[in-house]
Amino acid sequence: MKLTLKTLKPRNPLVAPSLQRRAGSHRPGTGALRQQARHALRGEIDRLRHSP
């Protein structure tokens, strides 16, 4: 006895790669913002330390 299944609608081959890419807003992530703030704070501290 053979089973016959109705074939599903073919999937769009462009959807899977587009979902795997990082899509959305073009802002830096929270880690990058923290790193920038830390770098700015370090620069400010160094500037205050070296000023007379």
Report pLDDT digits (tens) over 15-52. 888 778 766 777 888 999 999 999 999 999 999 998 77
User: What tokens does 22 get?
Assistant: 């990082």
Half-sphere exposure of 25 (CA within 13 A, CB side): 4
Q: For residue 23, what pLDDT is reported?
A: 66
2 vs 31, residue with greater confidence: 31
**pTM of the complete model:** 0.48
Q: For residue 29, what pLDDT is reported?
A: 86
Distance of CA 24 to the CA centre of its chain: 8
Q: Is 12 left (phi over 0), alpha (psi -120 to 50) or beta?
A: beta
19 vs 13: CA distance, rounded Å: 11
